[in-house]
Amino acid sequence: MFADRLSASAQAIQQHFDGVLGALDDLPVVRAMAHATHGGKRLRGFLVLESARLHGIDATHAIWPATAIEALHAYSLVHDDLPCMDDDDLRRGQPTVHRKWDEATAVLAGDALQTLAFEMVCREEASPDANVRATLALRLARASGAKGMVLGQALDIAAETALTPLTLDQITALQQGKTGALIEWAATAGACMARADISALQAYAKALGLAFQIADDVLDVTGDSATLGKAVGKDAEAGKATFVSLLGLDTARKRAADLVDQACDSLAGYGTDADTLKEAARFVVTRAH
């Protein structure tokens, strides 16, 4: 069953984090890194492990980039939650890092998690092929930097003080940076590790990333914070334009469903081997119902 596979992969990633972080000094910043990487569905790591399996890459290698992308994602959450950013108290049902420790520890733990992500893709255990390691690291930098995730975050901040709400095209661009770029890195990692053509997985990831964000906006309206483990309704309160505010709830759900179909169609060339990735795409949207 898909849920079991997702949970098994989350567990493997947790174990890997335990080993890697356990090798560091016992300091507040390291405990904060462990806290920040604990829990969550670890969808990005799952996409790495599944795309790797699809390309015959051994899991003992793939666990490194799978854990790396989760470290990078965790860093972005720790910094996004800071008082000067989204000022959130709750994440995955737990106090955020700056609430449990302090802001300095949250800044540093986020910084070190970003660094750790690059370390993990560059270690020889990630791939015996130096070209693969360098490519994974270069693509990770591009996905997360000022043309990727940080760009999305900066556009989000700019939108808060903009005089007019964002258009659909602008929100789509913002989300491609903020969420889409890391999902794309994760889903293409397996092909990248096999030095194979990434285009089918890339098309899958682009559709999936957008569906994911639309589903997130739907959840922000329909979900409750106890189930989600984080605050909800914040976007609506802040009067921010979202896919739901622009499209309406029904159309947003329909758009997300269409994107999932599109994501699945992109994987046709892989045959039934890609069934798990197709289920992952459906899972992303069904959680928003």
| Contacts to a copy of itself by CB under 8 A | 24-25, 27-30, 33, 75, 79, 82, 84-85, 102-105, 107-108, 110-112, 114-116, 118-119, 122-123, 130-131, 133-135, 137-138, 140-142, 144-147, 150-151, 153-155, 157-158
Of the pair 29, 191, the CB lying nearest a copy of itself is at: 29
Closest CA to 8 of 276, 275, 205: 276
- Token readout for 228 is 């989600």
Of the pair 85, 168, the CB lying nearest a copy of itself is at: 85
Of the pair 147, 289, the CB lying nearest a copy of itself is at: 147
Contact present, 180 and 213 (Cβ < 8 Å): yes
CA distance linking residue 243 with residue 241, whole number of Å: 7
249 exposed, middle or buried (CB, 10 Å; 0-12, 13-18, 19+)? middle
**Closest approach of Cβ 110 to a copy of itself, in Å?**
8
Of the pair 107, 228, the CB lying nearest a copy of itself is at: 107
**Closest approach of Cβ 22 to a copy of itself, in Å?**
12
**Closest approach of Cβ 242 to a copy of itself, in Å?**
20
**Closest approach of Cβ 227 to a copy of itself, in Å?**
29
- Token readout for 67 is 């854990």
Closest CA to 120 of 73, 65, 70, 72: 65
Q: Which residues contact 8 (CB under 8 A, 6 or more apart)?
A: none
CA distance linking residue 151 with residue 142, whole number of Å: 11
DSSP class of 177? I
CA distance linking residue 38 with residue 73, whole number of Å: 12
Bridge partner residues of 90 (DSSP): 95
CA distance linking residue 229 with residue 248, whole number of Å: 25
**Closest approach of Cβ 119 to a copy of itself, in Å?**
4
- Token readout for 174 is 């913002």
**Closest approach of Cβ 55 to a copy of itself, in Å?**
19
Of the pair 102, 273, the CB lying nearest a copy of itself is at: 102
**Closest approach of Cβ 108 to a copy of itself, in Å?**
6
Of the pair 2, 118, the CB lying nearest a copy of itself is at: 118
Contact present, 217 and 235 (Cβ < 8 Å): yes
Of the pair 15, 115, the CB lying nearest a copy of itself is at: 115
